[in-house]
Amino acid sequence: MQAKAANQAIDRQFETEGLQPFHTRFEIHFGEPVVGNLGSSERMNYTALGNVVNLAARLEGLNKQYYTQIAR
């Protein structure tokens, strides 16, 4: 909730300066993902995998598509 409040404060400041609002989306889903370095010795990438990661990504995509926010 602190991130949302901070974003609202920035939006108020932007409005007084005549700027467009700064739209953000935060998706948090609880669970145990698999995290770590994946790849080969030539190309390595730190990433997160698992159902919890996929669900959070889908929620973010739906919110983007429908211009909504999920706030708790």
Amino acid at 1: M
Q: What is the pLDDT of residues 1-47, one digit of tens each?
A: 788 888 889 999 999 999 998 877 766 778 888 999 988 989 999 99
Q: What is the mean predicted confidence (pLDDT) over 43-55?
A: 91
Domain boundaries, the chain: 2-66
**CA geometry: angle 61, 52, 65, nearest 5 deg:** 5
With beta carbons less than 8 A apart as the criterion, state whether 52 and 32 touch.
yes
Give the DSSP per-residue string, 19-68.
PPP---------S--EEEEEE-SSSEEEEEESHHHHHHHHHHHHHHHHT-
Give this prediction's pTM: 0.56
